[in-house]
Structure 1
Amino acid sequence: MKPCGTVTKSTAGLASLGGGLLVVLALSLPAQAAEDQIVIGTASSTGVYHVTGQAFCRLLEGPCHARPSEGSVANLRDIRRGEVPIALAQSDQQYYAVEGREGFADAGPDDTLRALFSVHSEPFTLVVRRESGIQGFDDLEQRAVNIGNPGSGQRATMLQLMSARGWTLDNFALVNELPADQQSLELCHGNIDAMVYTVGHPDLSIRQAVDLCNAAVVGVEGDFVASLVDEAPYYSLAEIPAGLYYDDQPEVQTFGVRATVVASEATDPDQVYTLVAAVFDNFERFTDFHPAYAILEPERMIKDGLSAPLHEGALRYYRERGWIEEASNGEDKDATEEAETNAATD
């Protein structure tokens, strides 16, 4: 009988071998999991983009991570640099990235950007402290306003609207650049009079401002808004339903964009196919994740708000479903017709 704690040569060898195997497994399995994992760039952790990314991951039921980010502009830059394979972005920023305009002028046109589909509409939303007396966009002059953090879609849209109005940052008494998950507290603390947000509704950040300090949602209208919408194919007039945030909230008139899902041309087609199939094969389940998805229609999602060509992984799925036909010359009929329509609109 061997004393307690004595290890035989064979036992020690097995322990050493087992330890070696554990080290190998510990090193190899995470690497494999990381390689197979689908990473989706979203935006603020309180916004609908992050909810959307999480919904995708739940539908995939495999290795998937919805990664918070600075927003649409940052996501498109990360896609171009190969730092994230799939991301969400506003339709206007997708257009600018493809064309190499606005925030992407220095980088030039992104010929490698690819579209998967669009999701919900995103009205440009103006939220104010009730005691501020702000009734519309023009009342923001010489007020303290949060325009959004650099890299966010809300900031980019705000700058476009300001340009259409003939304004610069000097038109405000104070300009804050807080991300979406911080702006409602800043509003309720009285440090700003208003905040803007391009987002699907209902939204947690806006709900927080309403619940904490009785904030109000006001319309964004005027000839400058109509001109902006007329000149840009990625903008459209939009409404925020009455009573969505508080009982006496009227229907709010504004404009907006669409949330879109994008990838790089280099993104694995099988990954893209898997994501697209997960959404459309489980479409009713997907639309249950958030009220903003309630009115989505697949036939519109594969066209509306898309400026970049469809990714080959998405095309494979749409062809299998018969939603896009491949012409005899190898081009996709519906995709080609849509591109021609967009070109005529520009």
Structure 2
Amino acid sequence: MFSKYLKLFAGIALIVGCVPLASAKTFITIGSGSTTGLYYPTAVGMAKIVNEAGIDVRANARSTGGSVFNDRAVGAGQLQMGISQNNVAYYAYNGSGVEAFKGNPIENLRGVAVLYPETIQILARKDSGIKTLSDIKGKRVYVGDIGSGTEQDVKNLLGAFDMSLDDLKTPVRGSAGSAVGLLRDGQIDAMFYTVGLGASAITEAAQTAPIDLVSVKSDKIEELNAKYPFYTEIKIPGGTYPGMDEDATAVTLKAMLVTSSDVSEDAIYQFMETVFSKNKKAFYNDIQNPNLKKYFTLDSALEGMSIPLHPGAAKFFKQHDISIKDSQMPPS
């Protein structure tokens, strides 16, 4: 009798062994930025695409202080992905540039893809007397959230004009959404915001306050570029925002998706194949960020990639015949 049951159990074990077990899910939290910017809807949209695809990856988006926070949190394992300015990611990986990274390089930070150009947009109330960036001295100015890429950009940009945050009457920090209200109510004179063109926060500001876009002179942008090669010139076309009909000259860089080397190659590859290849139509049309459809292509997804790629990203680009520079290859 015992032998009979032993054979039965062996048969059941054989059958169970032949049934594939459900694959373990990888959970990815994507750090974004303020809910009024473009990082947040971009992260939310990518997570939605992933979750609806039925793959072995689940994702969600988290609103954060922005680039500096995201890079640090990815390095510490608190986030599995994040959106970051490419210059901030470079500083994070190399332990330079930003005070939070000096002497503390985030060696496990890896690149996924460059998404779209970001622009340092400067808004000033019409009654503030601010016509050029030099006029911002002695004014009440929003300089970005604590730990954001915007804050670092403001420091670098003011430096090109031989100024610092100490030259402002009041450097104001917090969310961009709060800054819009302060600008509208006349509690600040101007605000900086590093974000993609067409951001809802700036559109709202233009609809609710008498404001102008402040241009940066080309020679100053060239001077900035000589010191910080990430920064280049861009024209903000007239009509981008309500009531702003003239072109403005501004400084731009790139927004990129970063991750950690601790995330598996397969998870990153599945994420990219799902978002950037199989569901590209949804990526372009369903995410509330017009810059993706206007600027993102696989051919340009490594332009401005400032840190080494994750192995899963390298696999993805190789399979899509995208050339990878030696400096962008994952460390061996």
**TM-score category, normalised to shorter length:** 0.7 to 0.9
Match of 1:89 in 2: 84
> CA 1:337/1:70 → structure 2, altered by over 3 Å: closer, same or farther?
closer
1:284 pairs with 281, 284, 290, which one?
281
**5+ long unaligned stretches in structure 2:** 1-22, 53-57
TM-superposed CA distance for 1:335, in Å, is 2.3
Of stretches 127-136 and 144-153 in structure 1, the one that deviates more from structure 2 is 127-136
What's the offset of the Cα at 1:143? Answer: 0.9
Is residue 181 of structure 2 the alignment partner of residue 164 of structure 1? Answer: no
> Is the deviation greater in 108-117 or in 201-210?
108-117
Offset from partner CA, 1:252-289 (integer Å, 9 cap, x none): 11111100000111112222112211222122331223
2:50 to 52, 60, 81: 60
Between Structure 1 and Structure 2, which shows a larger proportion of helix residues?
A: 1
Q: Which amino acid aligns with 1:131?
A: D
Q: Find the counterpart in structure 2 of residue 308 from structure 1.
A: 307
Unpaired segments of 5 or more residues in structure 1? 1-31, 325-333, 340-346
Q: Take 1:57 and 1:77, find their aligned partners in 2: how far apart are those partners?
A: 21
- In 2, distance between residues paired with 1:58 and 1:292? 18
Residue 275 in 1 paired to residue 267 in 2? no
In the TM superposition, structure 1's runs of 4+ consecutive aligned residues that sit over 4 Å from their partners are: none
Equivalences, count:
297
Give 3-state SS (helix, strand or coil) of 1:96's partner. helix
Q: Aligned-residue CA RMSD in angstroms? A: 1.9
Partner of 1:39: 29
Is residue 242 of structure 1 aligned with residue 238 of structure 2?
A: yes
The normalised TM-score by structure 2 is 0.84
Alignment match of 2:183 (pick from 183, 187, 192): 187
Partner of 1:295: 295
- Structure 1 residue 139: Cα displacement: 1.1
In the alignment, what sits opposite 1:153?
149
- The answer to whether the 8 Å contact 1:123/1:239 transfers is no
Residue number among 45, 68, 78 corresponding to 2:73 in the alignment: 78
**Structure 2 CA distance for partners of 1:248 and 1:86, relative to 1, 3 Å:** closer
TM superposition shift of 1:68: 0.4
Q: Given that residues 308 and 328 in structure 2 are in contact (C-alpha distance below 8 angstroms), is that contact kept between their aligned partners in structure 1?
A: no
Percentage of pairs with the same residue: 27
Listed as ranges, the matches of 1:97-246 within 5 Å are 97-103=92-98, 104-221=100-217, 223-246=219-242
The 1-side partners of 2:232 and 2:249 are apart by 11
Is residue 90–residue 258 contact of structure 1 (8 Å, CA) maintained in 2? yes
- TM-score between the two structures when normalised by the length of structure 1: 0.81
User: Is the contact made by 2:213 and 2:244 (CA closer than 8 Å) also made in structure 1?
Assistant: no
Matched letter for residue 62 of structure 2: R
